[in-house]
């Protein structure tokens, strides 16, 4: 089960990196990030929620993570996407894309930290 938990988190990290690339492309182009960004953020959120659910199952059924900070980073990673959407709302196109890129960088760093504390 922990292998599946890690695999889903890796997929989420890959999707977050894709969202960063798309956001940076929209910053360079100067256009409003359309449905493509929203879809990529939804996929990242789905992967993070599934990974968190699997992590909760592992926490209940086993000894838990090696480092208690893993739980904090997990919670913060779940908050990163809604926070990104809130901060990006009602901003000009370039700022929306930039805020999305920054939010996904923060998420990617949190997920990398999760791998280290797992």
Residues 7-61 have pLDDT tens digits of 999 999 999 998 888 888 887 887 766 677 778 888 899 999 999 999 999 999 9
Task: Taking the CA atoms of 12, 116, 66 and 74 in sequence, report the sign of the dihedral they define.
Answer: negative
Residues 59-94 have pLDDT tens digits of 999 888 889 999 999 999 999 989 988 888 888 877
* Residue that the structure tokens 């922990």 belong to: 2
Instruction: Look at residue 63 and give its three-state secondary structure.
Output: coil
Which pTM was predicted? Answer: 0.86
Separation between Cα atoms, residue 104 and residue 17, nearest integer Å? 7
* Residue that the structure tokens 């893993």 belong to: 70
Domain that holds residue 80: 2-117
CATH of residue 43's domain is 1.20.120
Q: How many domains does the chain have?
A: 1
């Amino acid at each position: 089960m922990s292998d599946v938990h890690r695999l889903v988190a890796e997929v989420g990290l890959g999707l977050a990196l894709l969202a960063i690339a798309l956001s940076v492309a929209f910053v360079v182009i100067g256009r409003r990030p359309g449905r493509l960004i929203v879809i990529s953020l939804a996929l990242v959120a789905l992967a993070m929620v599934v990974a968190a659910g699997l992590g909760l199952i592992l926490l209940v059924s086993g000894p838990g993570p090696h480092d208690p900070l893993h739980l904090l980073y997990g919670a913060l990673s779940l908050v990163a996407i809604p926070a990104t959407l809130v901060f990006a709302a009602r901003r000009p196109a370039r700022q929306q894309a930039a805020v999305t890129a920054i939010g996904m960088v923060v998420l990617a760093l949190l997920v990398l930290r999760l791998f280290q504390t797992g």
